[in-house]
Structure 1
């Protein structure tokens, strides 16, 4: 069988949940020694070297950005090329190109499985035309895909309630985060030996302001990693909080050794995401066996099986940090690790995807 994987920047994965997913699906397929062939569509704008293959996957390129407004055309072209090259099974990641699916279904008998990601049109950053297009794309993805995938039960519930359609729940693996060798030399100077860690895109829906407000009121050290310069929101927060002695606001860290070194020193993981389903950074951190302080929403409760600590306000977060002693921290961390090992490993995620695509 010829399997196509579309909708991401491509592999090797350098950033992003979907890119990490594809990277690990390719690794899993390579280890399977399967007779099936896989081709991953990649952005020619984001890949300088343009290799022809990665492990046992063939790579094809579309000379457009894979994200932003170009993602609609990027995904539509990728879909067209996949059916023209007679791929029998297509995994579409995200709904950007889903408006092309009615035409694709008319001209091709390929099996199409779409991971609809989070409920994208509900995010605060979208409004007007963008929100309407995203909502229509979600509808098209559910209506015209043979199989629909969600990474979180809350999203599957949304699909069932909104469209009366079945939905497979396949999360993300996080165990790859443990395979890297720590490289503490690559970390910035001046970081404390132990600290709470937050790591995310600097957006309002990730409650960055709430987390910084909470830790600015206590002496507990916080390392916060994110793209502070990419928005007025991030720049304003960095200007407001950068001088607090216990707050360490770092630019994005992508190098695996540096990430491992950061995570090895963590006492609490603070997860402020309020939208988007199962978040890769959360399930990665759960494998480290540290307590999770998560924003109280249905996505995070599903991901952590209601066993993490949850906050709704900065005051809540302050109380959790101050009230959680060493014994509680160890107990909660072990529970997070058990859940991660049971639900969030790439071996089981890879098997679930390829069983569905077969």
Structure 2
């Protein structure tokens, strides 16, 4: 296609592609995979995370900055990305997260680019942040919503919050999960491990990990829980507290999609403890596996699962769910959950929704 007719879309706020980190990275990876012929992506990447620095990934241009894209340094990273955008002059600036959005008034003053912001999951509410950080993130969120031409919420509960808090409507676009089951290499599914429950998340307080693990301290039922246990004082504390239980198996992070497929495919049920953050990619992925999902009872999870999961609010309620697993109702709802995921959470559909905003 004639380059003059291409829409240039700069993507700010991720570690980069190929995806090796989290939800936003997987989103960008799939936006590229399903992009239309008239779209040219420019993806900002942290050189701190890539030994091999590709100039392009598929049809996307990669631009590297020598700054970490996560934590406090994400503020500097995102602002530097926006400064480079002033030089690159993209038609659309897609910002994922609000870390650097206090710079948007300056950016908008000097740029004619259409600004689209995915505000993520109300980051300022997370317990890991101290008081000043929470105030900073809340202010960044406010500026991002007010300055954006389009706001994206990844969950209906987030959209309701944006409308109530800022009197502004947002576009609800979640994430795909079909990549978790669409594998290029065949797997011998006849080999089944002994039954176990599965948890998978970043080790943070609002993910209710302690509540989940407590449900398995007085039972022979096995849980495998994967997370970044060694990345924080909180994670190391939980690891020391629960690693002595023979039925509680704490796994280190593994981003190999084939290994994750095996873990999910063979588990009795997936346990999801997130209480913040909108639509969580790991939950959406699990919904594609025809397994029961036990989710912490909050609006985010009920909207994501369309009320088709089973919900718990404490360790006792979760334990009761594990004991009811042999019930036919759980299997039936797992099938309904998969059908809903196939309708709502597939990447080709998600990519088309993003491109409709460009």
| Pairwise TM-score range, normalised by the shorter structure | over 0.9
Deviation at 1:218, TM superposition (A): 1.8
Give deviations 1:146-192, integer Å, cap 9, x for gaps.
000010011111100000011110000000001224668xxxxxx94
Q: Deviations over 1:273-297 (max 9, x none)?
A: 0000000000001000111000001
2:99 maps to 1:93 = no
Partner Cα distance (2:40, 2:239) in 1: 47
2:42 match: 39
- Which residue of structure 2 lines up, in the alignment, with residue 233 of structure 1? 234
Q: How does 1:29-68 map to 2 (within 5 A)?
A: 29=35, 32=36, 34-68=37-71
Is this contact kept in 2: 1:6–1:41, CA < 8 A?
A: yes
Q: 1:38 deviation in Å?
A: 1.2
2:153 to 150, 156, 159: 150
**8 Å contact from structure 1 (residues 182, 258) kept in 2:** no
Query: Once the two structures are superposed, what CA deviation does each residue of 1:212-264 show, in whole Å capped at 9, x if it has no partner?
Result: 00012222111100111112222222222212222111111111111111111
- Structure 2 unaligned residues grouped into runs of 5+: 1-6
Match of 1:9 among 12, 15, 37: 15
Q: Write out aligned runs for 1:19-30 (5 A).
A: 19-29=25-35
8 Å CA contact 1:182, 1:257 repeated in 2? no
Larger deviation: 73-82 or 166-175?
73-82
1:202–1:228 CA contact under 8 A, matched in 2:
yes
What stretches of structure 1 move > 4 A for 4+ residues in a row? none
Alpha-carbon distance in structure 2 between the residues aligned to 1:89 and 1:83: 12
What is the SS of the residue equivalent to 2:180? helix
How far, CA to CA, are the matches of 1:80 and 1:110 in structure 2?
A: 13
Structure 2 equivalent of residue 161 of structure 1: 164
Deviation digits for residues 48-70 of structure 1 (CA, Å, limit 9, x no counterpart): 11100001101111111111111
Superposed CA RMSD: 1.6
What is the TM-score normalised by the length of structure 1? Answer: 0.95
| Paired residue secondary structure (1:59) | strand
- 3-state SS of paired residue (1:45): helix
What are the equivalent positions in structure 2 for 1:190-269 lying under 5 Å apart?
192-269=193-270
1:278 maps to 2:284: no
Distance 2:55 2:10 in 1: 15
- Please name the residue that 1:290 is paired with: 291
Q: Deviations over 1:95-153 (max 9, x none)?
A: 01110100111111100100000011111111221111101100010000100001001
* SS, match of residue 93 in structure 2: strand
Count of residues paired in the alignment = 350
**Residue aligning to 1:318:** 319
SS in 1 for 2:215: helix
